Amino acid sequence: MLVFEKKNALTNCITSFKDENMQIGFVPTMGALHSGHISLVKKSQEDNHITVVSIFVNPTQFNSSEDLKKYPKTLEKDLKLLEENGCDIVFVPSVNEMYSNNVSSKTYQFHGIEKQMEGKYREGHFDGVATIVHALFETVNPDKAYFGEKDFQQLQIIKKLVEIESLPVKVIGCPILREPDGLAMSSRNVRLTEEERNIAPLIFNTLKESVSRSKTKSIQEVYQFVQEEFNSEPQFDLEYFIIANENSLEEAVSINPTEKQRAFIAVNVGKVRLIDNLSLSEF
């Protein structure tokens, strides 16, 4: 497994593989890797000759300096896990390497999808995501890039970025991996206390039940059910729950079985913010 810290060295290496007509798969991460990340690596390995993983905690996508400071960093463990799973190349740049002396985001227009959900609560977040992903795509020059559907809005943003900037990369969304009790795998889960981790599956259970109820109830009744579930649990702070169109991410006014709709949720469990989503056609 090759490990690079510098953009030029990585780009030169990738170019040599491409000169041999090898296809490059890319998995961008912020580290603190878990089985969900490894599932993306495995998918890339199935589809490509060479798989590149980046580990970079991107400062411009955090709205809170405290959240950035607390984001788990486990580089040595991450590298060991990637090597055990046959990863070919890992890119571990510094902030200075990616941003030089200008740690700031570009401003993008994503036709409104950046203003929904996460965009409402985390101003500038998607500008930060798009800025770093664009820079990583230019460095790695992948044929395919893999993102988990847990961050479904981010996935749609990256697809739109590729379209707007005419980037020669195919973006592939991969299913959410869950713990046995249903909690979506996330690097943030390690920050939960034991008690919080024990009650966190309420998020998925409520989401699953909301999707089930959407088959027979009105959208207003589904929203009311979710709100009541979290009102009765003082350790949870429901930030948002919405049912939206999968492509536009605009909030639905009613349940429409002929339209691809998805339920999205963001919940604070103690000081840890967790997100999840489910397609309405999943249950």
Cβ within 8 Å of residue 45, ≥6 positions away: 25, 51, 86
CA nearest 112: which of 252, 250, 264, 253?
250
Q: Give me the half-sphere count of Cα atoms (radius 13 Å) on the Cβ side of residue 23.
A: 13
74: burial class by Cβ within 10 Å (0-12, 13-18, 19+)?
middle
What does the DSSP 8-state code read for residue 102? -
CA nearest 130: which of 101, 162, 152, 90?
162
111 is catalytic: no
Q: Calculate the CA 117 to chain-centre distance.
A: 14
Q: Where are the alpha helices (DSSP H) in the chain?
A: 7-19, 35-47, 65-70, 75-84, 95-99, 118-121, 125-140, 152-165, 194-199, 202-213, 219-231
Question: What is the C-alpha R_g of the chain?
Answer: 19
Q: Whole-angstrom Cα distance, residue 261 to residue 215?
A: 12
Q: Whole-angstrom Cα distance, residue 11 to residue 191?
A: 35
Marked catalytic residue, from 37, 49, 125, 134: 37
DSSP string, 184-239: BP-GGGGGS-HHHHHHTTHHHHHHHHHHHHTTTS-HHHHHHHHHHHHHT-TTEEEE
Please identify every residue annotated as catalytic: 37
